[in-house]
Amino acid sequence: MLKVIKESILLFCLLFSIQLFADTDSDLLQQKVEHLENSLKAQIGVSLLQPEANRSWSYKGDQRFPLTSTFKTYACAALLMKRDKKEVRLDKKY
C-alpha cells in the first residue's frame, strides 16, 4: 500500500512538471519516465498536453491503467480479506 502511495506522489509530481515538457525534447523526457518506472518496479503511463503550443506527448498512452480513486476500494477489500485469513496484520508496519 505504501508503494502505491509513493508511486502516486511521484506520478503526481511528474504530471505537474509540464514546464519540463516545454523545455525538453521528447527523448529525454521518455528516458526520465522509463528510469522512474524501472526504479519503482511499476508500470507508469503519462500524457502531457500543452494546448497553447498545440503539443502533446505520451508514454504508454495507448495502455489502460486503473484509476487510483476507483482502485482503492478493491485494494482495501483485498487487504481486509487477507486480514480475515490471518495472512496480514493491520497493526504491523510494512
Domain ranges (residues) in the chain:
2-61
Cα–Cα dist 45/64, whole Å: 8
Three-state DSSP at 50 gives strand
Residue 47, strand partner residues: 58
Q: Per-residue pLDDT for 28 more than 80?
A: yes
**Which comes out higher in pLDDT, residue 51 or 34?**
34
Which listed residue (8, 26, 58, 69) is catalytic?
Answer: 69
Please give the Cα distance from 7 to 1 (Å, whole number). Answer: 10
Q: Catalytic residue at 56?
A: no
> Is the sign of the CA dihedral 12, 17, 22, 25 positive or negative?
negative
38 vs 27 pLDDT, higher one: 38
pTM: 0.48
Residue 18 pLDDT > 60, yes or no?
no
SS3 label, residue 49: strand
Show the cell assigned to 50: 500543452
